[in-house]
Structure 1
Amino acid sequence: MSVRDDKDSLKRTPLYNLHLSLGGKMVPFAGYDMPVQYPAGVLKEHLHTRASAGLFDVSHMGQIALRPKSGRIEDAARALERLVPQDIVAIAKGRQRYAQFTNADGGILDDLMVANFGDHLFLVVNAACKEQDAAHLRANLSDTCIIDSLDDRALIALQGPKAESALAKLCAAAPAMTFMDAGPHIVAGIKCFVSRSGYTGEDGFEISVPAADAERFAKTLLENPDVMPIGLGARDSLRLEAGLCLYGHDIDTTTTPVEAALEWSVQKSRRSGGARAGGFPGADKILGHFDHGAPRRRVGLRAEGRAPVREGALLFAAGEGGEPIGQVTSGGFGPSLNAPVAMGYVPAASSALETKLFAEVRGQRLPLQVAAMPFVKNTYKR
């Protein structure tokens, strides 16, 4: 297959033409032709999001409606609890929760957001997993739920300290929303689904909009001088500084939620001794990790020097000799910190803060230490 043929096989989001008109540098990502950056460049885009407001096209993500056949939202919530270790029943109407699909070995099939819209659950899943996630839901929940893949919708993220003021001009309800509020709202005269959440560590919103209205909606937001278009490059550096996992890198089918340091996302009701403990794939292994500890942990890593430690770098307990004890899963330069940051997995015994480790970079052992995450303090509106 030629490069041209491969390029032609990529899917396009409803904002594809807008990206081109804005000078977006397009690259393949999760089967889509997506902007990695715009003329301002990754560094300026990253810092603008931290200081003002960034607009991200995340329409490649999957949007799924889970509708209870009985008409009772509790039935859809209990059904979904068969597949995730989170308490879905407890999500109040107008609220959202982070969750993971798990497999029989306790590994993570995908991570997702689940919102209660009153008459149905609204799910946002990762782009590379959305077809298999929909199939997983249909294979396991079709007895109680209707599973609708909402392929006719775009998804736009507006992130940063000026995101609220920018969205408030188009949606009077926006300022009253707090972190993880979610529901239908009219934005710029368009019927949208809005959540106060994101993937940058900053305050912000994710707005699901009909595909036919997406370009007009994005242009309206970009008319605000506080709002800049942001590509995948800055999206990745922002989420890394925020200590947030990227599926397929920091979490996958071989990592449990406890190993991934995501135990905060599993409510007590689903843990050992809880009212509805277990009942999800891999429960024995995951609950065993809660009870007895996981053999390894995802940790934050700060290098002593200026050289970034990239994904795949091996981690060692000593500077010279010895076998590797772990591996970096995400790494790069943190523009907000003006320093390199990384995440990776190490044995539990080596996961304490300030534990000194070494990473192998271009044949050299570079010193680093286990550091607290997030690397940059989050600014969610609680």
Structure 2
Amino acid sequence: MDFNLRALCAARALDASDALRLDQVVGHRFEFRSGITMAVDIASCSAACLIEDNLPNILKSLTGWARVYRYSDGECVTWHILALSEADDGTPVVNRIDLDQPLPASRRSPSAAASIAGLRQMTLEEASDWLIALSERWTSLRGQKAILQQPKLLRPAQPRIVVTGSPTVGGFPIAQHVYAMGRVLGADIKFLNASSFRDTRQRIFDETNLHGGIVIVTGNPHLNAGLMPSDLVEGRVYECNTTGTDLVSEIRTAIELLVEEFENTASDSVAEDEVLMRLMLRPMISHSKIGQYNHCSREEVLLTVKARRQNLRRADELLTQNAEKFLSTQESDKFFLWKAHNEGPEFFLNPKVIATIYDFLGMTLATAHAV
């Protein structure tokens, strides 16, 4: 889960009211705790970062972080602090703060202060590309490295996908890149170096619990979808036969489609159900959709789940399971209630169990209105 974009999107988005000023950052120490504690003093900020339009919101990532990467390349210690946020139009984005920290003179020397080397607000597509590149580089780093993440509750099932072809295509290490894509996109990848059709097919058949397959035909014209078990052929086997960046893009699209198809058919863990419920409940609390006179459509309830690329089908099932029709003569213990309208049911939170909802979200009445 260290590089999984979907898990990152399960974090609570930063609130605009949580912004930090530069003077609240420079000259201060920040601690990151998740099992272990890592701390860093920030001494300065590069001039190039000061022109960032969304500076206060991005700086808030230091306290509202979702993931922290720290590693050494032998010359300095690099930090990347990531947090989920929202653009002005409500689209989810990923804030990234890059810190450069000089290496201590010796093991006994105190840690030096770091400087802010970069501030960036990335779309989910840009964040995906960046995470894939970092994941690929991570395996080759020889210095100290560590990753912290929060929340830790999301442990979604992943589709097992077999990819076969040449490990290197045109001098590009395609196998290494495919593994990195799997770590970010949420797929359990098994790369098999291609040989003869018969031998490759036998090794694929030795694999178990396969959800899909990808055949890299480039450089291996004797390979095709017939390598795969018959139960995978129907819509879950992809042939990729382009070159260069087009090949990388083609493989990535195939992985994304297989992951999406898997999520639409698999039942994920209780941990994911909790995340999805939070993603539906928090916006309704924030917009005061409580009681029969403050309601919204099913699409609006599911909007945050969809925007963060979570399991929309499962969220829709959870909404149905945790909702019932509102009757003024009857009390309900469901989180969601609905009333019939011309364009379909309109949903609102059940005021009778609002204290239970706050408790589920880890909120109090005071913090609920600040979400």
TM-score, normalised to structure 1's length? 0.30
Higher-strand-fraction structure: 1
Larger RCO of the pair (alpha carbons < 8 Å, separation 6+): 1
Which has more radius of gyration? 2
Higher-helix-fraction structure: 2
